[in-house]
Amino acid sequence: MSLVIFGYGYTSQHFVRTQGARYAPVLATVRDPARAAQLTSEDCDVVAFGETIDERIGLALDHARHLLVSAPPDESGDPVLTRFAERIAQSKIKRIVYLSTVGVYGDHGGAWIDEATPCVPSNARSRWRLAAEEAWLQLGARMNAPAHVLRLSGIYGPGRNALANLRAGTAKRIVKQGQVFNRIHVEDIGCAIAVCFDSGLAGRIWNVTDDEPAPPQDVVTGAAALLGVAPPPEIAFEEANLSPMARSFYGECKRVSNRAMRRELGVTLAYPTWREALRALHESGEGR
């Protein structure tokens, strides 16, 4: 087996650390050549894919059996497809996993949604994502190599969670009436990726998310209770000093169902809600 990863960020690094040995050798990309050198390890050869393109990427694609795409699109389209679509189409790759976002659904007023719900993306980033999803599904069909699109909710895990934010002094309890978000632990994303690589299922779109959409302020309050500290004061959404991107997240509200992921894809969540996850993270020393 062999695996090529475009976009070696938080999620794909965790996947390599926990499951990469099953798909070795592994080659991954980042934009900055200096960062590529820093991230290269005995588990993964990391190379540059930005303004410069390392020739090892094409060679790895020629021999790969699995492809994981975590690199985001932009106004010019999907950077991987722009430069490597034909080489991928002629490769021996058997399975493709594309990491997307539940943001493509847009706002649904807090209603429950699933994979059959129409997408009404509310910003350019989500429209680019939706176009990239379709392009990867089409390439998979052309290659007769199942392409699975995983629509991820808010990603958290070791080093990236409410406990760590409280300890760093960056946690905020922003309150917007009726606002909820789904979340997904990075370990559960890794499980979903592995199932897509290993199963015989046809390529399709899957929501990869937890069981319980919850108000963001509740998660911070729960984390504070675990640490035995007072939670930060509540801040009304209208008064919160948020970046344009953060504010855009609060402009969408939906409850994302994971029924297909559990029943059809066969993923059993290690952390079905934020409560189990924060307890486990706290026991491992997070936030202390």
What digits encode the pLDDT tens for the residues 141-173? Answer: 999 999 999 999 999 999 999 999 999 999 999
Whether the model pTM is above 0.95: yes
pLDDT at residue number 51: 81
Residues 133, 125: Cα–Cα separation, whole Å:
12
- Share of residues in the chain with pLDDT > 90 (%): 95
Number of domains in the chain: 1
Residues 107, 253: Cα–Cα separation, whole Å:
5
Q: At 50, is the pLDDT very low, low, confident or very high (cuts 50, 70, 90)?
A: confident
Is 240 domain-assigned?
Answer: no
Is 92 domain-assigned?
Answer: yes
Range of the domain at 69: 3-157+183-209+256-270
Answer whether 210's CB lies under 8 Å from 258's CB.
yes
Is 66 domain-assigned?
Answer: yes
Is 214 domain-assigned?
Answer: no
Q: At 52, is the pLDDT very low, low, confident or very high (cuts 50, 70, 90)?
A: confident
Q: Give the mean pLDDT of 199-213.
A: 96
Is 239 domain-assigned?
Answer: no
pLDDT, one tens digit per residue, over 186-203 is 999 999 999 999 998 999
Select from 243, 221, 248, 245 the least CA-distant residue to 232. 221
Which residue is associated with the tokens 């504070």?
224
φ, ψ of residue 49 in degrees (nearest 5): -145, 85
**All residues at 6 or more sequence positions from 168 whose CB lies less than 8 Å from its CB, including other chains:** none
Is 167 domain-assigned?
Answer: no
Is 285 domain-assigned?
Answer: no
* DSSP string across 192-260: HHHHHHHS-PPP-EEEE--S--B-HHHHHHHHHHHHTSPPPPEEEGGG----HHHHHHHT---EE--HH
55: CATH:
3.40.50.720
Is 194 domain-assigned?
Answer: yes
